[in-house]
Amino acid sequence: MSQMALPLRLADHAVFESYLNTGNEALVAMLDNLAGGSGPGCWLWGQTATGKTHLLQAVCDRAGDRSVYVPLRMLADAGPEILEGLASRDLICIDDIDIVAGDAAWESALFDLCNQILDADRTLVVSATMSPRECPVALPDLQSRLVRLAIFQVQPLGEDDRVSALQLRAKHRGLDLPDDTARFLLNRSRRDMASLYDVLDKLDLAALRAKRRLTIPFVKDVIKEM
> What's the length of the chain?
226
Query: Residue 67: its pLDDT value, please?
Result: 95
CA distance 43 to 154: 10
CA distance 72 to 225: 34
pLDDT(151) > 80: yes
Burial of 186 from C-beta contacts in 10 A (0-12 / 13-18 / 19+): middle
User: First-to-last CA distance in the chain?
Assistant: 30
Portion of the chain with pLDDT greater than 70, in percent: 96
CA distance 38 to 57: 17
**What's at 141, amino acid-wise?**
D
Residue 84 — very low, low, confident or very high, per pLDDT cuts 50/70/90?
very high
Helices (H), ranges, the chain: 25-35, 52-63, 72-75, 104-119, 140-146, 159-172, 179-188, 193-210, 216-225
The domain limits of the chain are 16-153, 159-225
Portion of the chain with pLDDT greater than 90, in percent: 81
The residue-averaged pLDDT of 206-211 equals 93
71 pairs with which residues across the strands? 95
pLDDT(1) > 50: no
Query: Residue 13: its pLDDT value, please?
Result: 80
Class of domain 159-225: mainly alpha
Query: Residue 6: its pLDDT value, please?
Result: 54
Q: Which of 4-13, 19-28, 129-138, 172-181 has the lowest mean pLDDT?
A: 4-13
pLDDT(201) > 70: yes
Mean pLDDT taken over the chain: 92
pLDDT(132) > 70: yes
CA distance 125 to 146: 10
- pLDDT, one tens digit per residue, over 39-75 is 899 999 999 889 999 999 999 999 999 999 999 999 9
CA distance 62 to 140: 33
Query: Residue 12: its pLDDT value, please?
Result: 66
Task: Say if residues 113 and 87 touch (Cβ distance below 8 Å).
Answer: yes
Which three-class secondary structure state does DSSP give residue 128? strand
Secondary element (H or E) of residue 106? helix 104-119
Overall pTM surpassing 0.75 (yes/no): yes
CA distance 174 to 65: 27
CATH number at 16-153 = 3.40.50.300
Query: Residue 59: its pLDDT value, please?
Result: 96
- pLDDT, one tens digit per residue, over 6-42 is 546 677 688 999 999 999 999 999 999 999 987 899 9
Task: Say if residues 35 and 62 touch (Cβ distance below 8 Å).
Answer: yes
